[in-house]
Structure 1
Amino acid sequence: MVDRYPGEYANYPLDPQPPASACMAAAHDVIIVLGCPNEPDGAPSPCQIARADLAVAFMDAGYGDHFITTGGAVHNEWVEADTLRDLLVARGIPVGSIVTEPKARHTDENIYYSTLLMEERDWVSALVVSEQRAHLTLTGLCDSNCCVDLGRLTVADFPLASGPVTAGHYVRYPWTPPVSEGECAQILQPSKFMCTNLSQRLACADNFQL
């Protein structure tokens, strides 16, 4: 397969990710848990449970001890960020260590709003958690780096006791080199195959604001 993206990402979201560097594997200021929908009756969904379990596993491994749970009531009446918070609390995380972001309706907004919360707290780095490898790659390639453009997200396999787990290493500007136009040029073409509806995502708009 030809290179679709010249940065530090796999050619295809399901390809193996590179191992995290020592710097990336150090403690982060915060762990961002990306939202996904509740069950129709409001019960936590399998993806929410999996992400909460991963977030706790990353905390136990020393990757961070503050959390942002992010996601609004997108597919039903249940706020994803609140459910993720409750799952973390049920796993022993102090509620004071969790910041909820209940507005985001897409991954670009997850990154946008979470970055604003990081700015308010002088947090520079974040570990971004999802149980779906493809979701993380698309979050970095499409949403974080070539849409929101407030920081750089690199996807890699991070060591845990149970074995390597894919996550995102996110660093705000200006503490990381800016994403260049060249890195995003290929996915902005009509032939883009991974980033869908990029021009329609709210946080990509120049006038997007709270």
Structure 2
Amino acid sequence: MGGAALFLLAAALLCISGASDDLRQSDVAVVLGNAVSRDGSPSPRLAARLDAAVTVWVDRRVGAIIVSGGVDRNGTDEAAAMRRYLVARRVPDAAIVVDPKGATTWETARNTAAIMRARNWRTVMVISQYFHIPRTRLALARFGVEDARSAHPAYLESRDLYSIAREVIGYPAYWFRDPTA
């Protein structure tokens, strides 16, 4: 019973933390990838993330947007699909940095930290589902990015219950993961 209570408490804390947006001005936003259809259109979950990125861009809260994703087994490039979606919504192509090697949250954090160092950016706004933001911010910190703000889309689905449970396990795993390995 105590284990279940601890698990639920951890889940609640992760959700509250991730749902507490920090919309202060940031050098760049990073949008974490998600499923893309075979026709190249983002899944509803990914489209919601991208719409949140468009909002912070239009509101001039970020100066650029990193789109980070991998290539799935069908050869669909998440990051390229994300770039197309943003450009179609009038985000200038020059303001978009494509990270095609962000297949996992860890890889996205590593790549984002490298991009930020190369461009002398200090602040990042993480855009993902509310439950995913704490682990992403932790991963960024493990790679030296200490100032990570956040924005989450207002998109909920039943699958979130599974995802929240996964984050309760994933967060401590990232806490102990060695960024040099």
Counterpart in the other structure of 2:163: none
What SS does structure 2 have at the residue aligned with 1:114?
Answer: helix
Mapping of 1:91-102 within 5 angstroms?
A: 91-102=89-100
Counterpart in the other structure of 2:140: 144
Q: Tell me the TM-score normalized by structure 1.
A: 0.64
Alignment partners' CA distance in 1, 2:130 and 2:74? 25
Alignment partners' CA distance in 1, 2:79 and 2:123? 20
Structure 1 residue 150: Cα displacement: 1.7
Alignment partners' CA distance in 2, 1:139 and 1:69? 14
Structure 1 residue 137: Cα displacement: 2.0
What SS does structure 1 have at the residue aligned with 2:169?
Answer: coil
* Change in 2 beyond 3 A, CA 1:204/1:74: farther
Q: Tell me the TM-score normalized by structure 2.
A: 0.73
Count of residues paired in the alignment:
164
Counterpart in the other structure of 2:63: 65
Alignment partners' CA distance in 2, 1:86 and 1:65? 18
Task: Tell me, yes or no, if structure 1 residue 14 matches structure 2 residue 26.
Answer: no
Structure 1 residue 63: Cα displacement: 1.1
Structure 1 residue 77: Cα displacement: 1.4
Cα RMSD (Å) of the superposition?
3.4
Structure 1 residue 36: Cα displacement: 0.9
* Change in 2 beyond 3 A, CA 1:43/1:31: same
Alignment partners' CA distance in 2, 1:43 and 1:28? 27
Alignment partners' CA distance in 2, 1:100 and 1:154? 19
Asked if the contact 2:135/2:170 (under 8 Å) is kept, the reply is: yes
Bigger mean CA deviation after superposition, 37-46 or 53-62 = 37-46
Higher relative contact order (CA 8 A, sep 6+): 2
**Structure 2 residue runs without a partner (length 5+):** 155-166
* Change in 2 beyond 3 A, CA 1:96/1:85: same
